[in-house]
Amino acid sequence: MQRALGITVHTGWGACVVVGGSLLRPEVVASEVIEVLGDPERFCFHHAAEMKLAAAERLTQRLRLKALANARRALAPLIAQNVAVCAIVAKEGPAGDLEAMLTSHARIHTGEGYFYRDIFRDASTVPARIVPPASLDASTVGRLAPAPWGRDQKLAALAAWSAIGN
């Protein structure tokens, strides 16, 4: 049976669910929260906004490498469970230029969202695709696994099932 990994992205962490089957015949293989950067590092663009551009670039690159290593290590046992594809619940689009991102608080938040989306995408050793959150309806998924099983896990599972079907 083909399985997929779904990830709902947050600042510094992701809700990860490995599923098989379908929404009609669900199989939830694993559900866990993976932290790729902890406090205070996870708000890396907020910290970068207080620096000169060259220092901000060094900081975000250093934290990107750290987060990527952490994500690869944490995703490996999940992907090893016969996962063929990864679906990441996040906004689509290019991350953009760091200097432009640091010009406003709203852009900083957007930049961090893209940063963590790209960390999880780049850490995946199976093909990964981005699934916009607006394309998913968490209310269609009931309680399929023990806690934690909230909106994030439901969206991750829906994205994963959609990736199995594509």
Q: Does the global pTM surpass 0.75? A: yes
- Mean pLDDT for 3-12 is 96
**Cα 52 versus chain centre, distance:** 28
Average pLDDT along the chain = 92
Number of domains composing the chain: 1
Residue 34 vs residues 11, 96, 103, 104, 126: alpha-carbon distances, Å? 11, 25, 29, 28, 17
Comparing 90 with 22, the larger pLDDT belongs to: 90
Does the pLDDT at position 2 exceed 90?
no
Q: What beta strand segments (E) does the chain contain?
A: 3-10, 13-21, 26-35, 83-89, 128-131
Residue closest to 155 by CA, chosen among 66, 23, 42:
23
- Mean pLDDT for 53-60 is 96
Q: pLDDT tens across 62-105, in order?
A: 999 999 999 999 999 999 999 999 999 999 988 888 999 999 99
Domain that holds residue 44: 3-165
Cβ–Cβ under 8 Å, residues 14 and 68: no
Q: What is the CATH number of the domain that holds 132?
A: 3.30.420
Judged on CB neighbours under 10 Å (0-12, 13-18, 19+), 40 is: exposed
